[in-house]
Structure 1
Amino acid sequence: MTNNLKFYIDGKWVVPEQPRLFDVVNPATEVAFAQIALGSAADVDLAVAAARRAFPSYAATSRTERLELLGAVAAVYERRKEEIADAVSNEMGAPLTLARQFQSPIGSRHFAQAIKTLQDYEFEERIGQTLVVREPIGVCGFITPWNWPMNQVACKVALALAAGCTMVLKPSEMSPISALLFAEILDEAGVPAGVFNLINGDGPTVGHAISAHPGIDMVSFTGSTRAGILVAKTAADTVKRVSQELGGKSPNILIDDDSFRSAVIHGARVCFNNSGQSCNAPTRLLVPAHRLDEAAELARAVAEETIVGDPRAETTVIGPVANAAQFERVQAMIEKGIEEGARLVAGGSGRPSGLDKGYYVRPTVFAGVTNDMTIGREEIFGPVLSIVPYATEEQAVAIANDTVYGLSSYVTAADVGKARDIARQIRAGMVHINGAPGSFDAPFGGYKQSGNGREWGRFGFEEFLETKSMFGYEGA
């Protein structure tokens, strides 16, 4: 790639106004494998100006024109998805198998869903003599994280393109290479100049400039709750729309029945997936108190059979966590769990045996966790499972809801009717019943401090639309 030190603005690769060099470190080796330039508020000004110039003409494009453009992007993306997988593995440590099976292909799926959504969407509605129309909101600012780089970039960009919006993207500086490849894909597919713009940078500089910019009509942010609060406060001065997908501490309620054993095993595996770096990971496993020891033993076995190692090895199940700061945070949280009296069942602090370099974390299981413990309340974002006992199903629901978060949740029961009943009581934006996966045509997002707004499918599409009422239209 020859564009690492450049930004994509107004359909061209340009040199930053005031470049600052930044090393992109491979978390498996702790060695820089690439270098990028970090931008400034001046670069944001240029990108926003380009997006504003492009907006009137792009917003006026027809449904057919946008569908053709989305199809062109999807075709180029499909051809280059192996490059995306390789970049994701290098920049954030995902096993290459995971990057090829999920991290990279998920971008294609978001474009496919955007095409489907746009094909079927009704932009106009008659209410009496009033015509209600939905129009693109304008220039959008996107700030995305490092844990699922293509998922968060593609789900925003695909729907914004479908809606007729123009945009400025700031990917995480920790995982920028896949985003630069993504910009090359959009350029090759023929996205008009100024419609899509990319600037690398850090949150306090470029992220702040995007959030505060009066020329940006909407900000879509994915990241920590702490950073999301800062984005919302900064955006408030210009009264722009803010859509956020933030942290989570998702409960996984298991009922005392024949589904229990398989549900514990499945829940632990999903928790450890992507090195635990998923906002919707089922990190709190709620089990009947009299089956706590059984659940702990099953989860211990999963932890010990989970192969941690070189992301390039085919046998690797989880690689390192994505960066040094995250490694230190996870280590501190594990130590906090021990200090506060949770029973360490598997794993613990330090690197796995035989791995003396790289940000590798031992898959860790705690039992007897309560909601007053730090590991029961705070998002860890590492391969750490907390098993929480409950006395009754009513108490299980109360424990599940006793959190500032409300992103995702999980319920498993042999009686699907019981699972559905519990699902209705959980205060979260998503509930997975009996291991059901998420769906790209259904909304993704949370309650409480897990954010506001929704992504994916029709609900995510409507985040990029404004609603206009034309009174007396029928009688005019």
Structure 2
Amino acid sequence: MLTSVAHHRERLKVGDHPHFISGKWIAGEGESYEQIHPSTNEVVAVFPEGDAEVVNAAVLSARKAFDEGPWPRMGARERKKILQKFVEAISAEAEDLGYLQTLDNGLPINFSLNTRVSALTASDIFDHYAGWIDKINGETYPQYTDTVNLHYHTYREPVGVVGAILPWNAPMMMFALKVAPALATGCTVVLKPSELSGICVNRLTRIVAESDLPDGVFNLVNGGPATGRAIVEHPGVDKITFTGSRAVGEWIMAEGAKTMKRVTLELGGKSAALIFPDARSVETAAKTVMGLCSTFLSGQVCSTQTRAIVHKSIVDDVLRYAREQVDTVKFGDPFDMATTSAPIISKRQAEKIMNYIRIGQEEGAELVFGGDCPGGDLSEGNWINPTLFAGVDNKMRIAQEEIFGPVLSVISFETEEEAIALANDSIYGLAGGLYTADLSRAFRVAKKMKTGAVGINGYSVMPNSPAGGVKQSGLGREGGWSTIEAFTELKTLMFNLDA
């Protein structure tokens, strides 16, 4: 059995987790819920459940701060100074925040401290959007006709009150991706962390509470699905930014349409990695793709490339290299720097993954390795061994449905056109990849892949580049100027100079 993670709670001084509304901490008097650590299934925190009344108070606070407060009307210089202090404060607490994130979701500490989901990345995101504040501008247009002396000018206004709903798997990065651009553009925020990982978001909120941000500009409400529904349904919310499942995203679009809410949705994925025989290193390609499923969050990332579309001449090589990669995987204490892979976030999700593995076998796919749980000292947690299927038909459920776990499907192809068709034969389109040394092929294939982003010989996201999905992987983009556009409305002024 793994050692209890509870002592990290005491060491990190994890206390109560109240709501934060209108500049005040609100304990909550109603229902509460427990947060369970996935490596051992022990309770690590208790949160108050934000009901409709709490959500209403938070929205009214944000509404008043937007309609009457100084934040949307504040000069760019002054707003920028406030956000730049967030950059410094998050960086100063980066190590503790990393450990808190591992206490939240079981992400191995080495990744929590040092990768794109670390506090330092969150700090970089705030820095990036602080830099945009004095550069958010409109355009002027030439006089269109001599018959009327009309001149046109546009500028960008903040969209209003933003309801931000976070996923559990990267709470710090997602906090920054949603809050930083909202604040940079002059919006006010009501944020709900995932009920599965709210500890580090609570600590980030304490950084906000200690800042010079005016009361009501940022509000935190803890809770589960009912709390999220109350935020989406509230008529005082102008925009929803959500990262999570496709099913919930569909509901948000339908519900938000009733009040014409603006939406940014980053949803599911069943991304494809195309491995051509002319890849610079088939070994590197195979181990990279398998590693995305077997290490880090164990495939519990929507952008994970869970379909390896491999030229038939190198399938055996890819399977061999994938096994070699999995041999390097180390389960265990998430706070051990040597641990490579996270547990599955909940028992319910682990059961769902195991059911998909059974479905894959029933559909006739070849289970090359994995498909079971490690047991032994890990038996109290939600651990599943990295799993590889070969001989997968792209019509199988394991190739079409998002499993959100350490399962990779290998699908073979013969021609470039077939590879592209297989990659595009999906309701999703989030984060494709391709491996080839042929620059012409890389450009040609990437343009034909129906996905929001394509990584050529590698994949990562950065604060200044947009990422997001097409088809049922979502709407909108997060990152760079595209996010500034998403949190603003474009207003056109028409000047009649003959009046």
Which TM-score band (shorter chain)? over 0.9
Secondary structure of the residue that 2:162 maps to in structure 1?
Answer: strand
Alignment correspondent of 1:85: 98
Q: 1:8 to 1:285 in 2, by over 3 A?
A: same
**Does 1:68 find its partner at 2:90?**
no
Identity across matched positions, percent: 37
**Does 1:113 find its partner at 2:123?**
no
Which runs of at least 4 in structure 1 moved beyond 4 Å after TM superposition?
A: 473-476
Alpha-carbon separation, structure 2, partners of 1:159 and 1:224: 22
CA apart distance, 1:223: 0.1
Choose from 36, 41, 46 the match for 1:30: 41
Contact 2:17/2:202, CA 8 A, preserved across alignment: no
Secondary structure of the residue that 1:314 maps to in structure 2?
Answer: coil
CA apart distance, 1:124: 4.8
Structure 2 residues without counterparts, runs of 5 or longer: 1-12, 144-150
**Does 1:385 find its partner at 2:408?**
yes
TM-score of the two chains, using structure 2 as the length reference: 0.92
**Does 1:213 find its partner at 2:234?**
yes
Secondary structure of the residue that 2:240 maps to in structure 1?
Answer: strand
Contact 1:346/1:365, CA 8 A, preserved across alignment: yes
Choose from 400, 418, 422 the match for 2:441: 418
Contact 1:125/1:133, CA 8 A, preserved across alignment: no
Alpha-carbon separation, structure 2, partners of 1:348 and 1:216: 44
Alpha-carbon separation, structure 1, partners of 2:476 and 2:457: 26
Amino acid of the residue matched to residue 89 of structure 1? T
Contact 1:39/1:206, CA 8 A, preserved across alignment: yes
Q: 1:171 to 1:125 in 2, by over 3 A?
A: farther
Alignment correspondent of 1:8: 20
Choose from 201, 205, 214 the match for 1:192: 214
Choose from 317, 323, 348 the match for 2:371: 348
Structure 1 residues without counterparts, runs of 5 or longer: none
Alpha-carbon separation, structure 2, partners of 1:145 and 1:354: 29
TM-score of the two chains, using structure 1 as the length reference: 0.96
Q: 1:460 to 1:475 in 2, by over 3 A?
A: farther
Corresponding pairs, count: 474
Amino acid of the residue matched to residue 73 of structure 1? F
CA apart distance, 1:165: 0.2
**Does 1:404 find its partner at 2:427?**
yes
Choose from 160, 164, 178 the match for 2:200: 178
Alignment correspondent of 2:59: 48
- The within-5 A match list for 1:281-430 is 281-351=304-374, 354-430=377-453
Q: 1:399 to 1:51 in 2, by over 3 A?
A: same
Contact 1:331/1:350, CA 8 A, preserved across alignment: no
**Does 1:201 find its partner at 2:217?**
no
Alpha-carbon separation, structure 1, partners of 2:466 and 2:496: 32
Secondary structure of the residue that 1:455 maps to in structure 2?
Answer: coil
Contact 1:4/1:180, CA 8 A, preserved across alignment: no
Contact 1:27/1:321, CA 8 A, preserved across alignment: yes
Alpha-carbon separation, structure 1, partners of 2:366 and 2:326: 15
Alpha-carbon separation, structure 2, partners of 1:424 and 1:279: 21
Contact 1:4/1:36, CA 8 A, preserved across alignment: yes
Amino acid of the residue matched to residue 10 of structure 1? S
CA apart distance, 1:353: 5.7
Alpha-carbon separation, structure 2, partners of 1:444 and 1:89: 25
